[in-house]
Chain A
Amino acid sequence: MSKVDKKWRKKAEEELRGESIDSLNWDTLEGIQVKPLYTSQDLLELEHLDNLPGFLPFLRGPKATMYSKRPWTIRQYSGFSTAEESNKFYRDNLAAGQTGLSVAFDLATHRGYDSDHPRVPGDVGKAGVAIDSIEDMKILFDQIPLDQMSVSMTMNGAVIPIMAMFIVAAEEQGVDKNDLKGTLQNDILKEFMVRNTYIYPPDHSMRIVADIIAYCSNHLPQFNSVSISGYHMLEAGATCTQELAYTIADGLEYVRAAKNQGLDVDSFAPRLSFFFGIGMNFFMEIAKLRAARFLWSELIEQEFKPKDPRSQMLRTHCQTSGVSLTSQDPYNNIIRTTIEAMAAVLGGTQSLHTNSFDEALALPTPFSAEIARSTQLVLREESGLTKVVDPLAGSYYIESLTGSIINEARKLIAEVEELGGMTKAVQAGVPKLRIEESAAIRQARIEKKEEIVVGVNDYFSSKEQDVDIRSIDNEDVRNQQITKLESIKKSRDETVCQKTLENIESVAKNGGNLLEAAIEAAKARATVGEISEAMENVFGRHQAVSQSISGVYRKEYEGEDEFMDVEKQIEQFLKTNGRRPRILVAKLGQDGHDRGAKVIATAFADLGFDVDIGPLFQTPEEAAKQAIENDVHILGVSTQAAAHKTLVPMLIDSLKEENADNILVVCGGIIPDNDIPELESMGVGAVFGPGTNISKAALKVLDLIQ
């Protein structure tokens, strides 16, 4: 221990009056212990200190001048239901000087279903634009010069038909493939861990990714063919180190897949980009982005020995965290988003999306979206943040934290590699379980108030706030899409179209480039659903094996008053009813965000409920059938994507039809306050928003079923 340290410890102990200094340590969810003081001593062992921005390993930033020359790109992602609406939105923004656009697709499109498919009535036009064919794609980009505009597309499942239609839409606009710029998310591995918008099993999905990388590297030299995304992991409850490690491990797997196609690493690696989420742990997030650049550079060099340094350069987009937003006191979310945006900027992101404050309640309104955009403008123009490159470098704490994150992430990456790489690891379900475990621990910490969330578990607001929110009528969108589908199927040359689809099947079976084959099908007016099905005929549709953890919630929470209260009531229930209270936790529609459902399931089982978990992507009729067969007391519907308005009424009707309206229906997830009375009048027993205390929710449902 240095002299300085000793001196400080003495003084600190005096101030603590007998309490140990260690009591000030903070054990973060990442498993990193943060001390109350960092000094120059903490820099002694670090390996990453001496480097410059713009040079390998790029820890301090990919560019030498960073924001001092050009600030980050403000890239707001938004979803409108129809191609017409989205097109208008893009053109308005472009007229206002924006240089890039970002497309969100609806859930049916993500999962490779046309809008008229019987499994998707509640999903068409939700959370994004419905695209069924090249005609929709042409409307989407009508009068938008695709040779000048950078287009970012969040698509992972139905990447083949969507990318094919994008290319054909450009071609029919007279734009050469060579001139197309933008980014395709095309990150399927994380879909198997979180979010679940996959279509095919992992192996076949990896082949699709590789086919796209190969095609782009030959024909679309300016296009980012994969955006390796950690964002959705963070949203699902991953810690910063998990998000970082699994994202990097995903990236390595994509590079391997592309190399297996015979590509030279330098021909495509510079076109891989990243996408991270930024949560509320301010310094940790800054350190995470720095550590990410270091690790990527290190691991790419080790395994692939590229010649071009750009192959080792990690460029990233960031988005502020959606789960950090609360439905209680929603205006506080503006402050949260600002803090997160600052962390992203201090961490050196290349582009940024800031969330709107009402996103814990519903999709953003134009008003809330504008505040979100202005947040970035204020940071950029008024705070001086852009003047200095990597301004926190050399901070004892930031550098030490960067080092700790590098080390922790290395361990997690090594675990994945031991399983044989990420494709194998996701098949084994290991990362998914790790993330779910972190989510459950975090939930318990919040409920125990070890972690304070203002307005959620402390500092409650005294008055209700009325927030204007946006609602979508998806029935209308669906009908429009169905009409368009009918007309395209009538007017196309059916023989030619079927031939192209048969060719896709044959390429899927015997090899060849799937994107190339799909481009021909898109030209022949085959639909997203048809192209997806042609591949499904060969690959099959992936069925998730649901694994669940248990005991985590109990471990964190046992002994607390409310927990014991629930336990006692359940014992009583068991005596009176001859069995434990039984709940089915169901997800309806094509929305695959199952973090909420998983946390509820494991916590309720730990509390002593018998918990049935429904498969992902259930229809309301299927959920009703399962609830009836299992004779549950409670059917809990978890919804994140506004499906409650269409699907919950269908569910309640199905239960009534079978005389099973004795089953209590409750809803959880993102449900606007304004919709609650309507749901209640339909017969929904209770609605639980984000940030609900689980034990309290359990007490409430126990009360309702007795």
Chain B
Amino acid sequence: MNTLDIEELCKLIFSGDRKAIATAITLVESTKHEDQDSTNRLLTLLESQQTQSIRIGISGPPGVGKSTFIEAIGHSVLESDERLAILAIDPSSSISGGSILGDKTRMESLSRNENTFIRPSPSGGNLGGVHRSTRESVSILEAAGYSVILIETVGVGQAETEVFEMTDIFLVLLSPGGGDELQGIKRGIIELADILVVNKADGNLEATSRSTVLDYKNALKLLKPRIQGWNVPVLPCSALEKNGIDQIWNEVINLKDHLVKTGQLEKSRLEQSKIWLKNKKKNLILSAIEDDEELLDKLGETIKE
């Protein structure tokens, strides 16, 4: 894209043009080397107009009902007059490279809403639970005036740290029962959680979910809270029956106020920018050498020496 096009695109994004936002996300996701420059120029231009937003990461094991939960909490977000953007990451097949992105089938009523922008992206083989350029997409959406950004990740349970590194609030969804989760692989993401939600508190599982909430509350007592002055709340909800959703949204608001008041929001964003820059450089180098056998050989030898 030439400079003029980028400027035009930037203007359209500022005006909230849906198509321009979509095109820009495609641009930053592009794996083509030439698109790198355009991306950088666009991001620089966008910096002049950023909305004050909350960035919320939503994670949890597969089958916990992330999309249904987002559909439910999305309505609470919209009711408080916010504009909502959702970035969802679906896994790409490691064999065909293709993917099936079905998230909007699960966020049916949100996807119809005029104040909502939903963009599922194929993970493209990235393991961190996010797309390589999710962070850039966040900038675009903020420039377009979206004030709440939800990032839903591939529910792998590990390697969620990348989402963590680009969000203000990290919300973890768990199923009732699953006591072994505490010992097992899920421990990693629970440690990162700022708000823990036990979904599916409905039907047969309602009683189980109450005891699960207690289990997690106890477990969390042993952990040092990640955010100063914030005790991680554990809340039950039923995304299906839309119970307990408003309480969760209230906690998000409380936490945001807390982060702003104590100056931690600004601080962690600064920190995140640094990490992002570093990762960007790293990726740049990686993609530069990826197809260059000669360079790889040379580097290999240098390291050996």
Contact = CB atoms under 8 A, between A and B. Distances in A.
A250 interface: no
Contact of A660 (B19, B32, B95, B117): B19
Contacts of A607: 96, 98
Interface stretch (A45-53, A222-230, A383-391, A574-582): A574-582
Interface residues of A, number: 43
B168 interface: no
B22 A605 contact: no
B95 A610 contact: no
A614 B100 contact: no
A548 interface: yes
Nearest to A611: B100
A622 to B, nearest CB: 5
B31 A613 contact: no
Interface string A586-624: 000000000000000110111111111111100000100
B25 interface: yes
Given A543-B108, A625-B18, A660-B19, A578 B96 contact: no
A630 B100 CA distance: 13
A613 B98 contact: no
A611 B101 contact: yes
B88 to A, nearest CB: 10
A575 B35 CA distance: 12
A605 B96 CA distance: 7
A550 interface: yes
Nearest to B31: A578
- B18, B19, B96, B118 — most chain A CB neighbours (10 Å): B96
B111 A625 contact: yes
A413 to B, nearest CB: 23
A614 B105 contact: yes
Contact of A545 (B100, B106, B119, B120): B106
Interface in A548-598: 548, 550-551, 554, 567, 570, 574-580
B137 to A, nearest CB: 11
Interface residues of B, number: 34
A578 B100 contact: no
Contact of B95 (A548, A551, A601): A551
A548 B102 contact: yes
A466 interface: no
Interface in B93-128: 93, 95-102, 104-106, 108, 111-112, 117-120, 122
Nearest to B119: A629
B30 interface: yes
A487 interface: no
B98 A580 contact: yes
B96 A614 contact: no
Contact of A610 (B19, B21, B98): B98
A680 interface: no
Nearest to B24: A631
A614 B104 contact: yes
A628 B31 contact: no
Contacts of A608: 96-98
Interface string B235-276: 000000000000000000000000000000000000000000
Interface in A636-667: 658-660
Given A659-B19, A660-B19, A611 B111 contact: no
B29 interface: yes
B49 interface: no
Nearest to B25: A631
B32 A615 contact: no
26 contacts: A544-B105, A550-B96, A551-B93, A570-B98, A576-B32, A577-B32, A578-B30, A578-B31, A578-B35, A580-B98, A602-B100, A606-B93, A607-B98, A610-B92, A610-B98, A610-B122, A611-B98, A615-B105, A625-B18, A626-B118, A628-B19, A629-B18, A629-B117, A629-B118, A630-B101, A631-B25
Given A544-B105, A554-B95, A612-B104, 6 more contacts: A604-B98, A605-B96, A612-B120, A613-B104, A630-B22, A631-B25
The 3 closest A-B CB pairs, nearest first, are A578-B30, A578-B32, A546-B105
